[in-house]
Homo-oligomer: A and B are copies of this chain.
Amino acid sequence: MRTPEKLTEAIHQRGGKVTPQRLAIYRLLAGNQGHPTAEAIHEALREVMPMVSLTTVYKALNELAAAGEVKRFDVGGVSHFDPNTDPHAEAVCLLCGRIRDVEATVPDEDVRIDGFRVSSVATLFYGYCSDCAARRIET
């Protein structure tokens, strides 16, 4: 994701408005190294801006995803938004549901597959994190 300043510029250029809500969301994402859900962002946002609505959060996130600024991916019926667009993979624990970024050799997103134009790639490892794997063996 680009910096909040760059995004602000881009909005002005297309005749949009830079609202405090959007700015706060951009700043939150810029300082986030995870892959938060809309709900999580809304929660964190309320601490600095108590009146923001979840609807607005969704709209801002969908814009960013459509513009390719964040990577959106679904796990278990919940959408996650990852501001880190560098090539990496996500590890999803099937027991506790936690997701963490992992380094891995992932496919290059600059490929073209038989006419299909790729704009982003999500690589998801499903499995068991060390905590849950241990707990699994015990029981």
Contact = CB atoms under 8 A, between A and B. Distances in A.
Interface string A109-137: 10101111111111111111110010000
Interface residues of A, number: 39
A23 B89 CA distance: 35
B116 A126 contact: no
Interface string A78-105: 0100000000010101100000001111
A43 interface: no
Interface stretch (A5-13, A24-32, A68-76): A68-76
Contacts of A54: none
Contact of A126 (B115, B120, B129): B120
Interface of A: 66, 72-77, 79, 89, 91, 93-94, 102-107, 109, 111, 113-130, 133
Given A74-B74, A74-B76, A119 B123 contact: no
